[in-house]
Amino acid sequence: MKPTGYMTIQRHILEGESQHPEATGEFSSLLTDLALAAKIISLEVNKAGLVDILGLTGNKNVHGEKVKKLDMFAHETLLKSMEYGGHFCVMASEEEQDIIHIPEQHQIGKYVLLFDPLDGSSNIDVNVSIGTIFSIYKRVSPDGQPGTLEDCLQKGTEQVAAGYVLYGSSTMMVYTTGEDVYGFTLDPAFGEFLLSHEKIQIPKKGNIYSLNEGNYKYWRPGLKRYIKYLQDVEDLNGQPYSARYIGSLVADIHRNLMYGGIFIYPADKRRPTGKLRLMYECNPMAMIVEAAGGRASDGMNRILEIQPESLHQSEPLYIGSEHDVTLVEKFLREEEELIRFTEEAKSQS
């Protein structure tokens, strides 16, 4: 639905919170701080082609991947913007191995923040859309103390809010507190996020699939069959599905949220648990897509119900329109059944 009039993100958050009986204003202030960090990162992303910020720092992140300067800038900007507010007891970032404590001089709050500061970093140097992803929980450890690893390792169902910022042809912030999904577009002239997408709903079925097809030879047979099916099927408009893959999770999922379709980063022979991180990528995106009426699965189970065991664990991800995710699960289940059937036949012969 297209909103009318100018609704800034601050006013929207405040009005949303005032409808909750236990509203304290704290949650609004926290999301406002996040919007500020998003504006700072957006400004830097837009300057990336102009200043000498490109190139590798020479470091690798905890996943052994090369870290670019803008990743670190985004990571540090988020820390700086969020630690002062007094809202969080602990944070965790894709770019840091361990949990991040709030510096002693700052107040400790009741929320937990997890983030992927810059998603799609292989696209930075080539002016292709990238993003930031965040996930917020309430602490489970006692108030007033520094937060713990346990606060960070909660199931995705416990998220109280999640969102992403897309640095694309314009900068957008999309967030949910579980009920509806809202999108705000940054007006670069006066630096405000304005409500541009109200109550986003993902189409029940799409005609786009996005995954890295270069990994085809490593896929399991059920996935190969599913993708072949999408290429053979005649859709409502008499055409097969379209393939679209940017290589930035935020941008790929944002497009599918608008148009419908499925995004997949599967487990395969090389990566038995997939590539995307449960805490920084899968869970927040799953919360958003579910709130928009879609589904997110690891191929068998709901992403949001996975009990995390470590901060940086990865999970396979099948996410998007309800129909499309349900269909791929059927192909994967059928594969399991075929394997079981063949094993049984072997053992009986």
* Rounded least distance, CB 213 to ligand AHG, Å: 9
Out of Mn ion, ligand AHG, none, which partner does residue 329 contact, by CB within 5 to 8 A per kind?
none
33 vs 116, beta carbon nearer Mn ion: 116
Least distance to ligand AHG from the beta carbon of 261, Å? 14
**Residue 144 in contact with residue 164, Cβ under 8 Å?**
no
Shortest Cβ 296–Mn ion spacing (Å): 15
User: What is the C-alpha to C-alpha distance for residues 210 and 56, in angstroms, rounded to an integer?
Assistant: 28
Residue 33 interface partner, choices Mn ion, ligand AHG, none, CB cut-off 5-8 Å depending on type: none
Neighbouring CB atoms inside 10 A of 124's CB total 22
Q: Pseudo-torsion of CA 302, 303, 308, 310, nearest 10°? A: 150
Comparison of 133 and 304: residue with beta carbon closer to Mn ion: 133
Question: Which partner, Mn ion, ligand AHG, none, binds residue 335 by CB below 5 to 8 Å per kind?
Answer: none
Distance CA(331)–CA(318), nearest Å, equals 12
Judged by beta carbon, residue 72 or residue 194, the one nearer ligand AHG is 72
Geometric angle at alpha carbon 167, from 163 and 169, rounded to 5°: 130
Alpha-helix runs per DSSP H in the chain: 9-18, 26-47, 69-83, 149-152, 221-232, 249-259, 283-291, 322-348
Cβ 347 to ligand AHG shortest distance, Å: 38
Nearer to ligand AHG, 109 or 120 (CB): 120
**Residues 256 and 249 sit within 8 Å (Cβ to Cβ):** no
Closest listed residue to residue 117, CA positions, set 34, 210, 29: 34
Partner whose footprint covers residue 266, from Mn ion, ligand AHG, none (CB < 5 to 8 Å by kind): none
Nearer Cβ to ligand AHG (65/180): 65
315 binds, among Mn ion, ligand AHG, none (CB under 5 to 8 A by kind): none
Find which of ligand AHG, Mn ion, none residue 293 binds, CB within 5 to 8 Å per kind. Answer: none
The footprint of ligand AHG (CB under 6 A) covers: 65, 94, 116, 119-121, 212, 247-249, 265, 275
Q: Which amino acid is residue 306, in one-letter code?
A: I
Q: State the residues that interact with Mn ion by CB under 5 A.
A: 94, 116, 118-119
**Which of ligand AHG, Mn ion, none interacts with 223 (beta carbon under 5 to 8 A by kind)?**
none
229 burial type by CB count under 10 A (0-12 exposed, 13-18 middle, 19+ buried): middle
Compute the least distance from the CB of residue 164 to ligand AHG, in Å.
Answer: 11
Report, in Å, the least distance between residue 216 CB and ligand AHG: 12
Provide, rounded to whole angstroms, the least separation between the CB of residue 249 and Mn ion.
5
**Residue 267 near residue 302, CB atoms below 8 Å:** no
- What is the smallest separation between the CB atom of 265 and Mn ion, expressed in angstroms? 10
Query: At 244, which amino acid appears?
Result: R
27 versus 280: smaller Cβ distance to ligand AHG: 280
- Residue 293, sorted as left (phi over 0), alpha (psi -120 to 50) or beta, turns out to be left
Beta carbon nearer to ligand AHG, 213 or 344:
213
Q: Residue with CB nearest Mn ion? A: 119
Residue 348: count of CB within 10 angstroms of its CB:
6
| CB nearer Mn ion, residue 118 or residue 200 | 118
